[in-house]
Amino acid sequence: MPYQWIEGDVCAPKGFQASGVHCGIRKNRSKKDLALIFSHTMCTAASVYTTNKVKGAPILVTKQHLKDGKAQAVLCNSGNANTCNADGLDIANAMCKSAADALDIREEDIVIASTGVIGQPLPLDPITKAMPDLVAHLGLDGTPAAEAIMTTDTCPKQVAVQFPLGGKMCSIGGISKGSGMIHPNMATMLCFVTSDAAISSEMLQKAVKQVADDTFNMISVDGDTSTNDMLTVLANGQAGNPVITKQDDAYDTFVEGLMMVCRQLAKQMAADGEGATKLLECTVTGAPSKETARKVAKSVVCSTLFKAAMFGEDANWGRILCAIGYTDAAFDIDKVGVVLASEAGQVEVCRDGAGVPFSEDTAKQVLSEKEIQIVISMNQGDGQATAWGCDLSYDYVKINGDYRT
């Protein structure tokens, strides 16, 4: 199926617009802090959320709003998570009402999200005052919205893909934020994806869960799971394809397009981990099962010792074997092999669970690149999976040492 990357983001699919402004939640006026995504027609909608027992008020409100599987807009602020606040639900609902009045839609058709510092009261006044300006700036460039949802991110994250579906050309586009407090189930992140494909809410929810498991639930920066994580997908059907109502070829085509977008955004988040200098991609093949492959890959990218070794460009493969070894799964470690690779080449460091001679100079050259692949061959089945992470640098501590200031 000919999928093609295209320029754009959440505004690439037909019928979507977005905007982002500085309303005053964040002290720095150069940083946008309020984002809006809007479809001119009703969408089917689906979300998955953080597994943290502490959940931000916006998540609780969004869950209620999406019970009917429909939405028409996404409103998100940065700089304040609206979490662990006594008036959090009231603030989240008031934000929805403000946007609904400005857009002339129902409050229940708005997805609400927040990201930033936990436990700080979120002022409503700056948001309601900025709403007319936010709506007035709706346009076909999603970059301002991508910038407005950023916290410690160093760059906006956005991508779009186009593909034929049911005789029509469909698009899927997305923006996301995520740099710290990133750990599987969900990673600390907000991700908003749009599509002009026609798909039922039931099939969309199934697709979102399936894709999240293989993308956003496979990244880690620091082992912390946040309170406000959310992946939301809106599909307005304006491409005109026959509505996807069952798991058939059309569903598989849509899922692959969604997988491409979410996988790319997941990699962008891992690469932009707080203080990160390298993107780590761990691919596991030959595992006894897919679930085992997932666990092994995540165990490696979550290892603090291994991440520190990658920052130091040290081919300390024992840390990889250690992380594999404490994975909660059944397998034979004596069949495992490990190769480190990058654009500079590759070096085998382990075979049959034991070290093999290799050139430290070659390994140093391989690990000097910005993207490192850790290829683990388990040689005991057909299970495979990929996880993404980043190295652990001095700057991670600096960033998180004064996060609130």
- The pLDDT tens digits for 158-182 are 999 999 999 999 999 999 997 544 4
Compute the distance between CA of residue 12 and CA of residue 375 in angstroms, rounded to an integer: 35
Least confident of 71-75, 99-103, 148-152, 287-291: 148-152
Q: Which listed residue (44, 115, 143, 188) is catalytic?
A: 188
In whole numbers, what is the pLDDT of the chain averaged over residues? 91
Q: Is 140 exposed, middle or buried (0-12, 13-18, 19+ CB in 10 A)?
A: exposed
Q: Is there a catalytic annotation at residue 151?
A: no
Compute the distance between CA of residue 153 and CA of residue 385 in angstroms, rounded to an integer: 26
184-213 tens-digit pLDDT: 454 457 999 999 999 999 999 999 999 998
Whether pLDDT at 223 is above 60: no
Distances (CA, A) of 367 to 249, 275, 307, 337: 41, 17, 12, 18
Query: What pLDDT is stored for residue 42 in this prediction?
Result: 98
| Both tokens assigned to 229 | 């994580």
25-65 tens-digit pLDDT: 998 888 999 999 999 999 999 999 877 777 789 999 999 99
Element (H, E) at 344: none
Query: What pLDDT is stored for residue 186 in this prediction?
Result: 44
Q: pTM above the 0.85 mark?
A: no
